[in-house]
Amino acid sequence: MKNTFGSSVALTIFGESHGSAIGAVLDGLAPGIPVDEEFIASQMDKRRAAGALSTARHEADKVRIVSGVFGGKTTGTPITFIIENQDTRSRDYGELAYKARPGHADFTAQEKYHGFQDFRGGGHFSGRITAGIVAAGAVALTALRAKGIQIGTHILSCGGVWDRTFDNYKEDISRLSELEFAVLDDEKAEQMKAEILRAKQNSDSVGGRLETAVTGFPAGVGEPWFDTIESVLSHGLFSIPAVKGVEFGSGFACADMNGSVCNDCFSGGESITSATNNSGGILGGITSGMPIVFRIAVKPTPSIYKEQQTIDMRTGQTTTLTINGRHDPAIVHRARVVADSITALTLCDQLALRYGTDWLADIK
């Protein structure tokens, strides 16, 4: 489906960057889950990432919940999140109405929507639309946490600077939940920020990698074909704008290993574990009970201030474009909370499909 993701727990998103409001409808989440508006607000703040590293556009991103919550808890019916757009500068979009920004969806939108798309600020393709995902994801994260399932994402690399990988999953995830700039190694965090600012000064932008871990997730969830856990997670993750790669466990590095190295040997006893986790917690498409671990590649923000060659969509002829406006020199630090949210929503769906719609509910 188009703007709906998930089957038993499903998210529908809507809105345009410079429309009157954006938002999301989260359907199928179990009843009785506490809706913590403060936590939602804090997740929205992490996505906004106000400051020198991000866009100068100022949006309060205040979330109004208009349905599906009663007495502070989910009812089990659709939860609707509405976020009004406020700082949408009324102005002449000029040549952006017909010149395709390189790296953006302007040209492909034109091919799909024949000129009827709202082109202002990227319209429905804008990263701003992820705000609805983050609001809904906050409720999903709360539901999972109550079941002992924790999700955390850090910036593994940005502008060529690399963070350390996960060490102690639980501690690291807990720490990440408090960080605004999600890097485990403080020194590397500062170096990354410096790289982002340097790109900004150069009228350029940088990309990066995110690494996500999920702990406490039960074994036996997922399907052997088509709806493998890798399939459904990647389906969601590749919806995040700018994501161009997803790998699980050792991912592409597996391709260079021998089987004797890549295989995670099981250990028994109180619980079934493995010393290595090259599989990223997924075997045959089904969770093994080991932490689910994956990495995604985020391309550099396509909006840069350098002059670029492009086409005039009215004539199909080559021309040049210099973008003005308010843009991020990097989005990897903002995308991190979107990755957490998509992961939480996807896993809630898988749990509901496997164990039923009440599994996440707070029923005695």
Considering only residues 186-225, where is the footprint of its own copies by CB under 8 A? 199, 202, 204-209, 219-225
Binding to its own copies by residue 96, rule CB under 8 A?
Answer: no
264 lines the binding site for its own copies (CB under 8 A): yes
Instruction: Point out which residues pair with 248 in neighbouring strands.
Output: 294
Stretch that binds its own copies, among 41-49, 164-172, 180-188, 310-318 (CB under 8 A): 310-318
- Does 337 contact its own copies by CB under 8 A? no
Decide: is 93 part of the binding site for its own copies (CB under 8 A): no
The CB-of-171 to its own copies minimum distance in angstroms stands at 26
Site membership for its own copies, residue 247 (CB under 8 A): yes
Does residue number 157 form part of the binding site for its own copies (CB under 8 A)?
yes
The sign of the CA dihedral 256, 257, 259, 262 is negative
Closest contact distance (angstroms) between CB of 174 and its own copies is: 26
Tell me if 109 contacts its own copies by CB under 8 A: yes
Q: Looking up tokens 């074994």, which residue turns up?
A: 219
Report yes or no: 139 and 29 within 8 Å, Cβ to Cβ.
yes
User: What is the total residue count of the chain?
Assistant: 364
Structure tokens at 31: 């009843």
Q: How far is the CB of 65 from its own copies (least distance, A)?
A: 8
Q: Is 139 in the site for its own copies (CB under 8 A)?
A: no
Give yes or no for residue 124 binding its own copies (CB under 8 A). yes
Encoded one letter per residue, x for contact with its own copies by CB under 8 A and - for no contact, window 170-189 reads --------------------
The one among 58, 60, 70, 326 contacting its own copies by CB under 8 A:
70
Backbone angles phi, psi at 227, to 5 degrees: -105, 45
Please report, as residue ranges, which positions from 35 to 54 form the binding site for its own copies (by CB under 8 A).
none
Which residues is 74 bridged to in the sheet? 69
254 binds its own copies (CB under 8 A): yes
Distance CA 363, CA 143 (A): 13
Alpha-carbon span 37 to 15, nearest angstrom: 21
End-to-end CA distance of the chain: 35
Determine the Cα–Cα distance for residues 178 and 137; give it in Å rounded to an integer: 17
CA dihedral 346→327→60→72, nearest 10 degrees, is 0
| Of 177 and 349, CB closest to its own copies | 349
In the complex, the smallest distance separating the C-beta of residue 303 from its own copies, rounded to whole angstroms, is 8
